Amino acid sequence: MATKIPSVPKSIEAEQAFLGSLIMDATAWEKVTDKIDVNDFYDANNKVIFRELLNLALSNQSIDILVLEEALKTKSVLDKIGGVEYLKDLVKKLPTSAHIETYAGIIKEKSLMRKLISSSTNIIEQVHQSEEGNVKDILDKAETEIFGITTDTKTNDGLVKIGPIVNQLIDVIYDKKNNNKIDYLLTGFKKVDERLGGLQKSDLIVIAGRPSMGKTAFSMNIAQDIVFKQNKKVGFFSLEMSAQQIATRMLSSLSGVSQQKIRTGDYESSTSDTKAVTSAIEMMQECDFFVDETPSITPMDLRGKARRMKREHGVDMIIVDYLQLMGVTRTRNFDQNRVNEISEITRSLKALAKELDIPVVALSQLNRRVEERNDKRPFLSDLRESGSIEQDADIVIFLYRDDQYNPSSENKNVAEVNISKHRNGPVGLEQLTFIPHCTRFEDYYPQVFEDTNDFGN
């Protein structure tokens, strides 16, 4: 017995009712303008009609059957879609446009079902055509494709009344206060946290500076506090260093033993160092710190991996080290387009923070122009040639260590943490103590560490 082939998901009736509603009532457009796309229509004629209705709406022309007829006739497609009789039939079938949102929902649902079928077919074809060892690539592509469909299901008209929102806000504030709940993450540095009020969900935090200022160390110190003291989970995208190098840094920072001793095994000559390293290893073995060492990762690939981290491991924060190393599609005129490429990257990171509802920390390398002036402290203006970093970031933090430029500096091993942009709070400068041999920042105290062995960001 032959297997019955299921029909393609569609509802021509809903499409016709939807179009008839728009022709009948121009104000109905306002209810569905952000719910339907031309490609959501299955019937080719209905797609042509909707596209023309869309053009009329975008050009602020009045919409009725006569205007639509003339527009289709001008483009020589009126007869192809069934003539004026088809347009009249669309209107005749409806007594009212009151149910246009219902029709839109049906059209969208059928469209999503067709997209799922198409994506599934593509995935099956890729599996059959793949070579051995390509399964991971197929899974990544499949996840990206399916996730693209799921994001298409999220509808939000963007319009809310402020009254209910403020009531919800007060409820949340009192709930947190009465039950001692904290819905943000701390950096672990007292003065910095007092100024920032914590790292908030959906925020993009940019940590910027010249090389050797300690950007990676600073971000890892924050991650360590979140993982080991706040019992949360962090995903770390390392585009510059390998996972093993990251592990070495963390081991050094946690134990207080220099990276040089750890790499060579010389720490075993000291009982206290051995005990400290052993204790740090035990802490790290079961910790929720996830490293992805993919070089030149693209915004799309990072987004897919971050979603998986969130779904499978429930990460509470993501760190990207660093955004200028992210892969982009290069054009012939690279210098001219680099600003646009960085802008695309930062926009994607901000969108990711909102989508996953977690803070995303992105490290940013400043260019050499900073060093052409006498005062080499970075400012927001140093970011303005780097795409839309300043615009997209909720928080911008600059790191500066004067002893990197002035060996005789009075501020030996003192790091300036300059919060230069804070969308929801105060800006200002705080100081931290930097311990070079184990690349660790701590709350500021005047003691100076002379041992600068084995540091390089």
> What tens-digit pLDDT sequence spans the chain (457 residues)?
455 667 888 888 988 888 888 888 877 777 777 678 888 899 888 998 888 888 887 777 778 888 888 888 888 888 888 888 988 888 887 777 788 888 888 988 888 888 888 888 888 888 887 776 667 677 777 777 776 676 565 555 555 667 777 777 777 667 666 666 677 899 999 989 989 988 999 999 999 888 888 889 999 999 999 999 999 999 999 988 888 888 888 888 888 888 888 888 887 878 888 888 888 888 888 888 899 888 888 887 888 888 888 988 999 999 998 888 887 645 344 444 667 778 888 888 998 899 899 999 999 888 777 777 777 788 887 776 666 888 888 999 999 888 888 877 787 888 889 998 898 888 888 889 888 888 888 888 775 444 444 433 3
φ/ψ bin of 83: left (φ > 0), alpha (ψ from -120 to 50), beta (otherwise): left
Contacts of residue 365, defined as CB under 8 A and 6 or more positions apart, other chains included, come to 208, 209, 210, 211, 215, 322, 324
Q: Residue 215 in contact with residue 321, Cβ under 8 Å?
A: yes
The two three-digit tokens of residue 97, written as one number: 């446009």
Among 158, 120, 74, 140, which residue's Cα sits nearest to residue 303? 140
Q: Strand, coil or helix: what is 41?
A: coil
Q: Residue 307 in contact with residue 356, Cβ under 8 Å?
A: yes
φ/ψ bin of 38: left (φ > 0), alpha (ψ from -120 to 50), beta (otherwise): alpha
Q: Residue 48 in contact with residue 81, Cβ under 8 Å?
A: yes
Q: Which residue type sits at 126?
A: Q
Using CB atoms within 10 Å of the CB of residue 244, give its burial: 0 to 12 exposed, 13 to 18 middle, 19+ buried: exposed
Q: What is the third-level CATH fold of 9-150?
A: DNAb Helicase; Chain A (1.10.860)
Q: What is the arrangement of strands in the sheet containing 395-401, beginning at the earlier edge strand?
A: 289-292, 234-238, 317-321, 360-365, 204-209, 395-401, 414-422, 428-435, 440-443
Q: Residue 296 in contact with residue 276, Cβ under 8 Å?
A: no
What is the chain's length? 457
Superfamily of domain 190-443: P-loop containing nucleotide triphosphate hydrolases (3.40.50.300)
Q: Residue 306 in contact with residue 318, Cβ under 8 Å?
A: yes
Could you tell me the sign of the dihedral formed by the alpha carbons of 21, 25, 31, 37, in that order? positive
Measured CA to CA, the distance from residue 180 to residue 193 in angstroms comes to: 17
- Domains of the chain by residue range: 9-150, 190-443
Strands 204-209 and 289-292 come out as unpaired
Measured CA to CA, the distance from residue 66 to residue 113 in angstroms comes to: 34
Measured CA to CA, the distance from residue 347 to residue 234 in angstroms comes to: 21
